[in-house]
Chains A and B, each alone.
Chain A
Amino acid sequence: DTGVSQDPRHKITKRGQNVTFRCDPISEHNRLYWYRQTLGQGPEFLTYFQNEAQLEKSRLLSDRFSAERPKGSFSTLEIQRTEQGDSAMYLCASSLVWLQGQETQYFGPGTRLLVL
């Protein structure tokens, strides 16, 4: 247990439905990342927050994806009008950035999404 929690751990939904995932980072961590991992591949970066500000979004993140981190604590990732290609493991990580280029990301257990 790294101290980063994600909810739910598993989600099965029908194509076209909206889903929302939550990530609770380690409490003093100022950075929060979302990644997506498909079977047999390494995780792909989606977006990250510095406190409550969303600083970067990957081109992988289509308009159907939105992420928020109100108050700089927990974060939510919403996928609207899900497609079968959205089926993946969604990983959240948090870190405390205090020195240029030096950080360790702590990963949550992930939310496994299956879109039928």
Chain B
Amino acid sequence: KNEVEQSPQNLTAQEGEFITINCSYSVGISALHWLQQHPGGGIVSLFMLSSGKKKHGRLIATINIQEKHSSLHITASHPRDSAVYICAVSRDSNYQLIWGAGTKLIIKP
């Protein structure tokens, strides 16, 4: 079983829909990261969370430490949000990132 699991693997939605991507992890962590990867490989860090909730523009990330679960939400989705969204965790003992397999999001106009 992978230490970081994401769902769904693939998600296609219409422009304007509310999007939720989920991440569950099974190890002790110091922080959880949400990252965005565009075609061609460029990766951008969206959020780093250790508790609670963070918001940036139309993106919202939440984490429940007790349940070892995080969600990334996109409100009023737009075709330019189409990308792979990756959840990764930093373990308690070191700073390595353990990565989920990613969620491929396609927003249709």
List CB contacts (< 8 Å) of A35-73 with chain B: 37, 40-45, 48, 56
Bound together, the chains give a CA A84 to CA B72 distance in angstroms of 36
- Count of residues in B whose CB is under 8 Å from the partner chain: 25
Selected interface stretch from B12-20, B54-62, B63-71, B95-103: B95-103
- Count of residues in A whose CB is under 8 Å from the partner chain: 28
* Interfacial chain A residues near B95, Cβ < 8 Å: 31, 48, 95, 97, 101, 103
Other than the known A41-B101, A101-B95, A103-B95, what 8 A-B pairs have Cβ atoms closer than 8 Å? A43-B99, A95-B95, A101-B50, A102-B30, A103-B31, A105-B33, A107-B45, A109-B40
Which residues in A have some Cβ–Cβ distance to B below 8 Å? 2, 31, 33, 37, 40-45, 48, 56, 89, 91, 93, 95, 97, 100-107, 109-110, 112
